[in-house]
Amino acid sequence: MEIMEKKGAKIKIDSYSGPFGQIKGFEFTAGNIIREGDESEWEPMGPHPKPEIPTLRSWFFKLLERYKPFYMPICDLCCLCTYGKCNLSKGRRGACGINSETQQSRIVEIACCVGAACHSSHGDHLLKGEFRP
């Protein structure tokens, strides 16, 4: 085990006034910082440390070739359209022609849209609440 020693740090704030309050005459000093262990990466860097879209696309298609998609529907009914509830069990199709795989894809897409809407709404809330001009 290797022990590493780094030089100390000093932070000094004469005066601050902002959303976090007011500070006058603040000073923080840390002596030598001692760390144990190696700071190098615990795992070697792979062939694509920051992959681009084409790399991810080819990887995705490679997975689809290797593994057939597995659908595990929550239920065998389709309740999302105005034709009523359709039974999609045992390879049946709904009144609109939808099958179980397409129904499951539709439910996953709706869940992704709900998650994206919540995520963007949270970001909007943070921007409007924290960073007022």
pLDDT for the residue numbered 113: 96
Domain boundaries, the chain: 3-36, 71-130
Phi, psi of 87 (to 5 degrees): -85, 120
pLDDT for the residue numbered 31: 76
What does pLDDT average to over the chain? 82
- Tens of pLDDT along 3-45? 555 667 788 888 888 887 888 888 888 777 666 665 565 667 7
> What is the model's pTM?
0.47
Q: Could you tell me the pLDDT band of residue 1, with boundaries at 50, 70 and 90?
A: very low
CB 97 within 8 A of CB 87: no
Question: Cα torsion for 42, 44, 50, 55, to the nearest 10°?
Answer: -140
